[in-house]
């Protein structure tokens, strides 16, 4: 039951008046405070019957996605290995590794007792390798130079001074200039106006 409480003030005349504020005690007749309670029966609002929820159809690739998501830690590990050796950001390489996991999960056949992780590692590595090959250096650069260039770029981002960089990498300043020149060449495609 819901209740409504009102604070009332009874004056000396016997008339019950709602008290807007507490009264000051003066030389008047003694005041009697009373409380009037109204009780109403509680009735909940009428409920309309709910329609049963329509089930969303299951995605056709749900099992494939679940298998790939169960091995996202493998994608993180592979992307971290490539991010340490290249100048590409970890997040981009992680996305490529996850794409590789999805491709592996869609082609994986669990028969024959094979494990998914070695199979998925091949696809994730391949996806990143293809991306790096397609978006890598414009000219053929030795792998040792690429590693040194990536290490140098990482040290520069960390705040290392460019003058101390060759010494920190353990190479001569002239060799560092050659590595920078070879690894920082970009290709610009010019298309003629038609």
* Residue pLDDT, tens place only, 74-112: 999 999 998 888 778 899 999 999 999 999 999 888 777
Same domain? 69 vs 95: yes
This prediction's pTM: 0.48
Report pLDDT for 53. Answer: 81
Residue 29: inside a domain: no
| Residue 153 and residue 89 in one domain | no
Residues 132 and 143 in one domain: no
Classify residue 179 as exposed, middle or buried by CB count within 10 Å of its CB (0-12, 13-18, 19+).
buried
Q: Is residue 164 part of a domain?
A: yes
Domain assignment present for residue 7? The answer is no
Which pLDDT tens digit goes with each residue over 109-150? 877 778 889 999 999 999 998 888 777 665 677 888 888 888
Helices (H) and strands (E) in the chain — how many of each?
7, 3
In this structure, the answer to whether residues 145 and 115 fall within a common structural domain is no
Domain range for 74: 62-136
Q: Mean pLDDT across the chain, nearest whole number?
A: 78
Count of Cβ atoms closer than 10 Å to residue 88 Cβ: 18
CATH number at 83 reads 1.10.1740.10
In Å, how far from its chain's centre is CA 47? 40
Q: Enter the tokens of residue 75.
A: 């994608």
Q: Is 158 in the same domain as 115?
A: no
Contact 95, 82 (CB under 8 A): no
Residue 85, in any domain of the structure: yes
Quick one: 80 and 132 in the same domain?
Answer: yes
**91, 113: one domain:** yes
Give how many domains the chain has, as a whole number.
Answer: 2
Domain contains 78: yes
Distances (CA, A) of 166 to 83, 147, 154, 158, 181: 21, 13, 13, 15, 14
Within this chain, do residues 130 and 151 fall inside the same structural domain, yes or no?
A: no
Are residues 125 and 146 both part of a single domain?
Answer: no
What kind and span of H or E run contains 17? Answer: strand 16-18
Let me know if residue 39 belongs to a domain. Answer: no
pLDDT at 6 over 60: no
- Does residue 31 have a pLDDT over 70? no
The rounded distance, in Å, linking the Cα atoms of 72 and 99 is 10
Coil, strand, or helix at residue 4? strand
Instruction: Clarify whether residues 147 and 172 are in a common domain.
Output: yes
Same domain? For 129 and 155 the reply is: no
Does 52 map to a domain? no
Task: Name the more confident of 3 and 92.
Answer: 92
């Amino acid at each position: 039951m819901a209740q409504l409480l009102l604070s009332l003030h009874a004056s000396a005349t016997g008339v019950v008046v709602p008290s807007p504020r507490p009264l000051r005690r003066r030389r008047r007749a003694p005041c009697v405070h009373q409380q009037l309670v109204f009780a109403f029966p509680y009735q909940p609002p009428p409920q309309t019957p709910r329609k049963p929820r329509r089930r969303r159809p299951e995605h056709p690739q749900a099992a494939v996605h679940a298998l790939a998501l169960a091995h996202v830690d493998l994608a993180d590990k592979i992307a971290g290995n490539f991010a340490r050796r290249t100048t590409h950001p970890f997040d981009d390489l992680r996305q490529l590794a996850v794409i590789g996991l999805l491709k592996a999960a869609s082609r994986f056949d669990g028969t024959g007792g094979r494990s998914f992780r070695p199979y998925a590692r091949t696809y994730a590595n391949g996806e990143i390798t293809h991306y790096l090959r397609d978006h890598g250096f414009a000219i053929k650069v030795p792998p040792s130079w690429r590693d040194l260039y990536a290490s140098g770029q990482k040290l520069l981002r960390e705040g290392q001074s460019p003058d101390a960089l060759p010494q920190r990498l353990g190479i001569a300043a002239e060799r560092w200039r050659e590595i920078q020149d070879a690894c920082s060449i970009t290709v610009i495609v010019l298309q003629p106006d038609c």
